[in-house]
Amino acid sequence: MRTSPRLSLNNGVLIDQLGFGLYKVPAAEAEGLVATALAAGYRHFDTAAMYGNETGVARGISSQLDAGSGSGGSGELFPPLSREDVFVTTKVWNDHHGFDATLRAFDDSMVNLGLDYVDMYLIHWPCPRRGLFTETYRALETLYREGRVRAIGVSNFQPAHLDRLLAGAEVVPAVNQIELHPWLQQEELRSKHADLGIRTEAWSPLGRGQVLADPVIQACAAEHGRTPAQVILRWHMQLGNIAIPKASSEARIRENLDVFNFELSARDMAAINALDRGQRTGSHPDNVN
């Protein structure tokens, strides 16, 4: 059964607020991890052409389609999982910017994923020096109008990139997927997204694991009898972010989804909000081309 609540995107499409990220997961391992995550209750998967694992993600999903979607081995019977229950995001990589190249990249991703449609297609990075993201986005709008993708959006867009995109766009991006965790809280972007009706999606929501050691997070976890990962993911949920943590073991996969039965107080939220130090674990979007 689905565990995460769903949020409505700006076109009414629903997305699970907590999904599963697949960066640096080899295709052969993706199959097993996706199957494990589905059995645990995840229904939202974040991949990309650049991750090289779309075929493994597809195999993991199809291994569970029409199978009982058990949520914990209790022997209960659940309805079979169908394609419509699963939300799959993939992304066009930087070397396929441009209208025709993006349409070709999308076709390749569809073949890899073996799907009739993709739930969400994103521009992975704006690549400002290539100067092609508006043209790339026109290809996404075409795919959206053709019904091949249910929602389109961007990733790693800075405020100026969004302004430039929106000046010529017909479809407001459904999400901007950005690096976001307690050490990099992206307040300016979050408030711009809220004004524009764009959902904020947090990549590296655990700061690639680095933020787990933060003493404030550790103290909060001890106080609630939770793990540091659960505290950080709960913080994301209470802020209204979509978050896509990656994990490599069944125990962590389940732990990260088990965040919907406790609440951080206003004091906890304020203490975590005070941890922002503008610290990236990945590249600055202006430097990726």
Residues at the interface with ligand LYEC3VGP (CB under 6 A): 23, 48, 124, 282-283
Nearer to ligand NDP, 179 or 268 (CB): 179
Task: For residue 224, state whether it binds ligand NDP (rule: CB under 6 A).
Answer: no
Name which of residues 2 to 41 contact ligand NDP (CB under 6 A): 21-23
Structure tokens at 220: 């909060």
Residue from 136, 155, 158, 176 that binds ligand NDP (CB under 6 A)?
A: 155
Helix, coil or strand: residue 150: strand
User: At closest approach, how far in Å is the CB of 159 from ligand LYEC3VGP?
Assistant: 19
Look up residue 210 and give its two tokens. 């680095």
- Which residues have a Cβ under 8 Å from the Cβ of 2 and sit 6 or more positions away? 16, 41, 43, 85
- What is d(CA 257, CA 232) in angstroms, rounded to the nearest whole number? 12
Pairing relation of β-strands 14-16 and 6-8? antiparallel
The answer to whether 220 and 231 are in contact (CB under 8 A) is yes
C-beta of 249 vs 283, nearer to ligand LYEC3VGP? 283
Consult the annotation and say whether 236 binds a ligand. Answer: no
Which listed residue (51, 121, 137, 144) is catalytic?
51
Measured from each CB, the residue nearest to ligand NDP is 21
Q: Which residue's Cβ has the minimum distance to ligand LYEC3VGP?
A: 282
| Burial class (CB within 10 angstroms; exposed 0-12, middle 13-18, buried 19+) of 213 | exposed
Q: Does residue 51 carry a catalytic annotation?
A: yes
Distance, CA of 85 to CA of 141 (rounded, Å):
24
Residue 22 or 198: the one with the smaller Cβ distance to ligand LYEC3VGP is 22
Question: CB of 106 within 8 A of CB of 143?
Answer: yes
Binding mask 179-218 for ligand NDP (x = CB under 6 A): ------------------------xxxxxxx--x------
- Between residue 225 and residue 284, which ones bind ligand NDP under the rule CB under 6 A? 227, 229, 244-249, 252, 255-256, 282
Question: Measured between alpha carbons, how far apart are the two ends of the chain, in Å?
Answer: 40
The amino acid at residue 181 is H
CB of 231 to ligand NDP, least distance (A): 10
Task: Name which of ligand LYEC3VGP, ligand NDP, none residue 58 binds, using a CB cut-off of 5 to 8 Å depending on partner kind.
Answer: none
For residue 202, give the nearest of 226, 218, 182 by alpha carbon: 182
Cβ contacts of 246 within 8 Å, gap of 6 or more: 20, 21, 22, 23, 24, 25
* Residues known to be catalytic: 51
Binding site: which residues?
Answer: 124
Interface contacts to ligand NDP, rule CB under 6 A: 21-23, 46, 124, 155-156, 177, 203-209, 212, 227, 229, 244-249, 252, 255-256, 282
